[in-house]
Copies of this chain bind each other. A is one copy, B any other.
Amino acid sequence: MTSFPSKLIEDAVSEIAKLPGIGRKSAFRIVLHLLKQETSFTENLTSALTRLRNQIRYCSRCFNISDEEVCSICTSSQRDTSVICVVENFKDLLAVENTGQFRGLYHVLGGLIAPIENITPDKLKIQELIQRVENENISEIILALSASIEGDTTAFYITKQLKHLTHLKITSLARGLPIGSELEYADEITLGRSIQARVAYGI
């Protein structure tokens, strides 16, 4: 597939092929599909994309992606407003949300501290988190960050910034063997930590 005898098709294929996970062949398949469907099919698609890009913003409270000034989780009356789950980004927020195990609020940092990549604490929404914890009636924050150097650094930094709030409980996600995993395939570091952090066996 070298080129198309139509600039309209060539332009559409080029633009679609810029999207992640889509090559020129798939892009061409999509173009043929659009041409086969009613005009309204393409209109619905482009209108949804335009609205998405122009109207979406960040919740002014938790920095979650939001349709409104304050996001639907922050405004919900069904949530426990005394617990904040701190996550790196929107994807991690969704991952936690989809477990159905958490009914509190969130705070999206927008990244993790990584001095080598020039991501210093002031580039993240850490100061805003501190203010929320100080001003709202928060009893616990859960640091739901990646098990990486950056995640650990960020957790450590946040904990230090909040140590003056003696009433506040700071927790982090449990680390250990994934559910359903076999011992012999576990990596040494995870297995080692699982032994150190062993818990009472309850039946």
* A interface residues (Cβ-Cβ under 8 A, vs B): 1-2, 4-9, 11-12, 14-16, 18-22, 26, 29-35, 39, 41-46, 48-56, 64-67, 71-73, 90-91, 94, 97-98
Q: Distance in Å from the Cβ of A202 to the closest Cβ of chain B?
A: 30
CB neighbours of A29 from chain B (8 A): 20-21
Q: Given A20-B30, A46-B46, A48-B15, verify A67-B7 contact (CB < 8 Å).
A: yes
Q: Distance in Å from the Cβ of A4 to the closest Cβ of chain B?
A: 7
Q: Which single residue of chain B is at the shortest CB-CB distance from A93?
A: B5
- The answer to whether A50 and B56 have CB atoms under 8 Å apart is no
CB neighbours of A91 from chain B (8 A): 32
CB neighbours of A33 from chain B (8 A): 19-20
- The answer to whether B49 and A9 have CB atoms under 8 Å apart is no
**11 sampled A-B residue pairs with Cβ under 8 A:** A6-B71, A9-B65, A11-B48, A12-B48, A14-B48, A18-B41, A19-B45, A20-B29, A22-B30, A39-B53, A43-B50
- The answer to whether B5 and A71 have CB atoms under 8 Å apart is yes
Q: Which single residue of chain B is at the shortest CB-CB distance from A89?
A: B32
Q: Distance in Å from the Cβ of A139 to the closest Cβ of chain B?
A: 23
CB neighbours of A66 from chain B (8 A): 6
- The answer to whether A6 and B56 have CB atoms under 8 Å apart is yes
Known: A5-B73, A8-B52. 16 other contacts (CB 8 A): A1-B94, A5-B71, A5-B97, A6-B56, A6-B65, A6-B66, A11-B48, A11-B51, A15-B44, A15-B48, A16-B45, A19-B45, A20-B33, A21-B30, A22-B30, A32-B90
